[in-house]
Amino acid sequence: MTAALEQGVLLARCTTIGTGGPAAAFAQPSTLAELEEVLHRAAAEGSDVVVVGLGSNVLAADAGVDGVVVRLRGELAAASAEGTTLVAGGGATNALCLHRARAAGLGGLEFACAIPGTAGGGVRMNAGAYGSDWAVILERALVCSAEGSGWLTPVELGLSYRHSSLAPGQVVARVEYRLHPKLPAQVKTEVAELIAQRKVTQPTTKRTFGSVWKNPPGEIGAGRMLELCRLKGYRVGGAVVSPMHANFIENAGDATTADCLAVMTESRRRVREQFGVELEHEVVLLGEIALGA
């Protein structure tokens, strides 16, 4: 079966920040065969491939994205436990994976409750929170490209702080998490505590794309640097630095990607000027867009 390609799907509907223009092509493969077919077709046509997942860590160009935008569905977004291993499709949400793990009496994935993304997105950026990350729990990942598919270990994936060596066009189709036995009640309690902590410190009820900047080396995190630069509440158009946590940008109403980029550019400039640090953005930029100097 062939995955259909849609034209003109607005990425503002597919991203948590709610900005972004149309995708030249949009595919939602639900099987490994469909995904491989999409990748082969894109390669034959010379089109770039990007994966949006839940759209929680991406900022898409207002003019749109020229290429094939992929969102995994069906079996590529499912998850199930096999012993102490949790097998998940690359498009499986972290919430679903955590639910399946808890039901199977497995622990180790609790930290992911703070990350509104997918299994594949977690691999691509080695997502993490509360002292853990994907490199700690990942056994291996099935990575697909136009050249073929194969399983890679965390070492082969080059996982480091908010980074992997995955290249554009490589898509995480499946992951295997190495977890450990834990009472479901304990998992539930720990997750509830982490979620409560997150609600107090992060703008969970606002439209954002998650953390804007990676934490630089040293004792002062990006959020604290931005706060010391008095950036909380700084606004351009509909994009505003969160008054709750300065490492988040909120869509306060009709924000555009250009607004977000302007806020990011000014934020980086102030941190560079005050701390001599060049912040590196954690959010993935899609399309022909870049930060200003």
61/165 same-domain check: no
103/191 same-domain check: yes
154/246 same-domain check: no
Q: Is 211 a catalytic residue?
A: yes
- Classify residue 251 by burial, with Cβ atoms within 10 Å: 0-12, 13-18, 19+: buried
- pLDDT value of residue 129: 92
| Bridge partners (DSSP) listed for residue 105 | none
Q: Which of 30, 56, 145, 211 is catalytic?
A: 211
Q: Is 282 a catalytic residue?
A: yes
> How many separate domains does the chain show?
3
Phi/psi at 246 (5° precision): -70, -10
**How far apart are the C-alpha atoms of 10 and 20, rounded to whole Å?**
7
179/81 same-domain check: yes
> Tens of pLDDT along 175-220?
999 999 999 999 999 999 999 999 999 999 999 999 999 999 999 9
In a domain, 292, yes or no: no
Q: Is 160 a catalytic residue?
A: no
Residue 232: which domain range?
222-286
293 residues of the chain, pLDDT tens digit each? 577 899 999 999 999 999 999 999 999 999 999 999 999 999 999 999 999 999 999 999 999 999 999 999 999 999 999 999 999 999 999 999 999 999 999 999 999 998 999 999 999 999 999 999 999 999 999 999 999 999 999 999 999 999 999 998 999 999 999 999 999 999 999 999 999 999 999 999 999 999 999 999 999 999 999 999 999 999 999 999 999 999 999 999 999 999 999 999 999 999 999 999 999 999 999 999 999 87
Q: Which of 34, 110, 176, 282 is catalytic?
A: 282
Q: Which of 162, 174, 268, 270 is catalytic?
A: 162
185/132 same-domain check: yes
What CATH number has the domain bearing residue 30? 3.30.43.10
